[in-house]
Structure 1
């Protein structure tokens, strides 16, 4: 009878021992299991920021600090001694005694040659009449116009020395045989003038002093005066129908 009672007692003892062992492992490991799960959740949350945070601001299409977007007008001038170091003679230019002033900065000259070549293929002759002008030459022109028309009137179409876009080497006065290569507002109504207004931006140029923008540019409408700003900027300015001042936020 004694032997029969020991067997269930032994089994019970083994069962209790095993239970204690498993319980011990559980209590020892449980904190680590919960901690790992918690960290995992925290890491997942950290990698999924709010919707606003995931929206990245796209970089602007045009770098407005580009050297080709330098603003030169009645309030933004160039130094008296400023002269670009990469001036290049333009291929499509009117034969003139002032041929030394028929240069543009290298990139602008290349772009203008491409523009004039494209115009020619479509039956239009467009040539440069005046490009880069040094301070001294602009001073001479300005004084001549002031003596002729008076200071107020002259300044509606001529820049003070040091404040002319021509000194930047990035602008060109152009014309065609239809107006005897003169610079006049009627040029905007010619076939060449219309082609220029519609296509100049494709080559990086804009009509710098457009019609009905005199209060912003400070100058009369000049359909012959184009300014190189680069193709991307020219496209935006053309599509937005704004002046360079408006585009650069300098109104």
Structure 2
């Protein structure tokens, strides 16, 4: 009777051993089996969380701290003595107008020359009438306009000294022979003005003071006033039809 009891005990021991062996193989192979779970092109490596993988595929955002995205408006000014150290004369300019103030920052001047050259190739003459203006000169202009039209009216089109984009060296007033190189709103309806509106962003510029956005920019519509912000930012601003204030979240 004792011999007959040993056989079931032996079988049980073998069964337990086999179970332990298979369990060991399962835990060793499980990570490699689960790592390949996925469907077609949507498969994500199991070692990287899905949310992290998605973030890695997004293009880098525009650096809004760029020196070319500095905000200058009625509430954001520049120091009285501020003057860029890399000012350079542009090639395409109206020589009889404010010749000493027909400079832009080096990168901006190069971009403007490219813009004007491209316009010229398509039969449009676009030239700089006024670029960088120092604090002292802006003060003279502002006081002149206040004396002529009164403070409130003047401030719809002229900045107080220290609060003009022209002092940054990043903006340009431009015009064309079709309006005798004057700065008038009708410029926006000319062939040159329309070309500028549709193509300025390709060279890093935006139309700074848009029609219908006066309550945000604080200034009247100026189709002649372009501002350099860099190509990536200019493209986004142009496509979204927004102002620099809106783009920078400063509304």
TM-score bin (small chain): 0.7 to 0.9
How far 1:116 sits from its partner (Å)? 0.9
Identify the residue that residue 105 of structure 2 maps to in structure 1.
Answer: 105
For the Cα contact (< 8 Å) 2:214–2:220, is it kept in 1?
yes
Deviations 1:104-154 (A, max 9, x none): 001110111111111111111111000000111111111111111111111
Indicate the structure (1 or 2) with the bigger Cα radius of gyration: 1
Aligned-partner Cα distance in 1 for 2:49–2:233: 34
1:220 aligns with 2:209: no
Aligned-partner Cα distance in 1 for 2:152–2:220: 12
SS in 2 for 1:55: helix
For the Cα contact (< 8 Å) 2:97–2:129, is it kept in 1?
no
Q: So what's the TM-score if we normalise by structure 2?
A: 0.82
How far 1:186 sits from its partner (Å)? 0.8
Aligned-partner Cα distance in 1 for 2:46–2:229: 42
Structure 1 unaligned residues grouped into runs of 5+: 1-19
Identify the residue that residue 6 of structure 1 maps to in structure 2.
Answer: none
SS in 2 for 1:56: helix
Identify the residue that residue 27 of structure 2 maps to in structure 1.
Answer: 38
Aligned-partner Cα distance in 1 for 2:49–2:84: 50
How far 1:62 sits from its partner (Å)? 1.8
Query: Do the aligned partners of residues 63 and 32 (structure 1) sit closer, same or farther apart at CA in structure 2, a change above 3 Å counting?
Result: farther
Identify the residue that residue 16 of structure 1 maps to in structure 2.
Answer: none
How far 1:47 sits from its partner (Å)? 4.2
Q: RMSD between aligned alpha carbons?
A: 3.0
1:185 aligns with 2:174: no
Identify the residue that residue 92 of structure 1 maps to in structure 2.
Answer: 92
SS in 1 for 2:223: strand
Deviations 1:69-108 (A, max 9, x none): 1111111111111111111001111012621100000111
SS in 1 for 2:104: strand
Identify the residue that residue 121 of structure 1 maps to in structure 2.
Answer: 121
Query: Do the aligned partners of residues 39 and 195 (structure 1) sit closer, same or farther apart at CA in structure 2, a change above 3 Å counting?
Result: same
Identify the residue that residue 176 of structure 1 maps to in structure 2.
Answer: 176
Identify the residue that residue 240 of structure 2 maps to in structure 1.
Answer: 240
For the Cα contact (< 8 Å) 1:61–1:232, is it kept in 2?
no
Structure 2 counterparts to residues 58-69 of structure 1, below 5 A: 58-69=58-69
Aligned-partner Cα distance in 2 for 1:53–1:190: 50
Identify the residue that residue 12 of structure 1 maps to in structure 2.
Answer: none
Identify the residue that residue 202 of structure 1 maps to in structure 2.
Answer: 202
SS in 2 for 1:183: coil
Query: Do the aligned partners of residues 50 and 199 (structure 1) sit closer, same or farther apart at CA in structure 2, a change above 3 Å counting?
Result: closer
Query: Do the aligned partners of residues 119 and 53 (structure 1) sit closer, same or farther apart at CA in structure 2, a change above 3 Å counting?
Result: closer
Identify the residue that residue 135 of structure 2 maps to in structure 1.
Answer: 135
Query: Do the aligned partners of residues 47 and 204 (structure 1) sit closer, same or farther apart at CA in structure 2, a change above 3 Å counting?
Result: same
How far 1:64 sits from its partner (Å)? 1.5
Structure 2 counterparts to residues 144-183 of structure 1, below 5 A: 144-183=144-183
For the Cα contact (< 8 Å) 2:77–2:164, is it kept in 1?
yes
Deviations 1:145-180 (A, max 9, x none): 111111111110011111110011010000111111
